[in-house]
Amino acid sequence: MYSAEKFIDQYLDSFARTHRQNFSRGESPLPKLRDIETLNDQLLTLFFPGYQGSENMRSLRSVVEYSMQLFTRLLCDSIKLALIHETPGISESLAQGEAEEHTEALASSLGEIRRMIKKDAVAGFEGDPAADSVYEIILAYPGIKAIAVNRTAHFLYKRHVPLIPRLMAESIHQKTGIDIHPGASIGESFFIDHGTGASIGETAVIGNGVRIYQGVAIGAFSESSRIKGKTKRHPTIGDDVIIYPNASILGDITVGSGSVIVSNTLVTENIPENSLVMPSEAGISIRPL
C-alpha cells in the first residue's frame, strides 16, 4: 500500500507555527460553512414562508417558530466562533454575550428588513414584463434571494460582526451567481434581473428604484483598492437608474438619478441626472433623456 508519510512534515511547514500550536487546543475555531448555508436557507424561509420548502408545516406560526429558532441559534453560534477567532484575548463568555446581542438586534429587525424585501419583489414584478406575478419573482428569480440575504448581511456588517456577513454573501453568491458585498448600501425597491455575473462592491451606494441586469459591475479600480482600504472607492448610483447587461461602472463616481446605462458601457466619470449613456468611439456618449 502506498504511503504519503514522507510528504507530511514538508506539507505541515506550509502552515504558520501559531496555527499548528493552537489547532489542537481549539483556541481559534472557525464558523462552519454548512451552518452558514443552513442559516441562509432558514432566513429565506422566514422571509418567504411557504415558498422555501416549508409546505408541510401546519400554520404560518409554526413555520416562523421553527425557522426563527434554528436561524437565531445558528447565527449566535457562528458569530461567537467568529468573535473568538477574530478577537485576540476575548473570553468565551464575552464572545457569547456579544453574539447574543447581535443576534437579538437582528431578530428584532427582521420584520423591517422583510418589508424592504417585499418592495424589492414588487419592483421585480413591475420591472419585468416576463413575470406573471410577484410570487413568480419570489419562487424563480435568483436576484430576490441574493438581495434578501444581502440586506440581512448588511445589517450585521454595520454592527461590525466579523466574518459572518461575508460568509453569508459568498454562500448565496455560489447559489445565484450574484456577488453583493455586505458593505454595499442599497436603497428600496431594488431589482436584479437575470443576475448571473452581477457584482456590487463594498463601498457602493445605490439609491431607490434602481434596476440592474446580468454581468453588471459596480466596482472599483483594482490598483487603488489596497491603497484606499475601506475609504469610498465604489460608485454612488442615484434613484431610478437602469443599468443594462455587462455595463461596468467603476470608481468613486456618481451616476445621476433617472439615468440609463446601455449594455457594454464602461463608465468611469460622473454622469448627470437623466442621462442616456452608451459606448462610442471616443469612450462613452452622454446625452439627455
Read off φ and ψ for residue 173, nearest 5 degrees: -60, -45
Contacts of 37 (CB under 8 A, 6+ apart): 171
Distance CA 9, CA 85 (A): 26
Tell me the C-alpha distance between 147 and 200, whole Å: 11
pLDDT class of 20 with cuts at 50, 70, 90: low
Q: What mean pLDDT value characterizes the chain?
A: 91
191-216 tens-digit pLDDT: 999 999 999 999 999 999 999 999 99
Beta bridge partners of 287: 276
Return the DSSP state at 271: B
* pLDDT given at position 25: 47
The region of weakest confidence among 22-36, 114-128, 231-245, 246-260 is 22-36
The pLDDT confidence band at residue 22, using thresholds 50, 70 and 90, is: low
Q: What are phi and psi of 199, to 5 degrees?
A: -140, 130
**pLDDT, tens digit (0-9, with 9 covering 90-100), for 140-185:** 999 999 999 999 999 999 999 999 999 999 999 999 999 999 999 9
Q: Answer for the pair 250, 265: CB distance below 8 angstroms, yes or no.
A: no
CATH superfamily of 27-178: serine acetyltransferase, domain 1 (1.10.3130.10)
pLDDT for residue 280: 94
Q: What is the pLDDT of residues 43-96, one digit of tens each?
A: 999 999 877 655 566 688 888 999 999 999 999 999 999 999 898 889 999 999
Residue-range domain boundaries for the chain: 27-178, 197-289
Amino acid present at 65: E
Architecture category of domain 197-289 in CATH: 3 Solenoid (2.160)
How far apart are the C-alpha atoms of 251 and 149, rounded to whole Å? 25
| For residues 227-250, average pLDDT | 90
Tell me the pTM. 0.90
Which grid coordinates belong to 52? Answer: 422555501
pLDDT of residue 28: 60
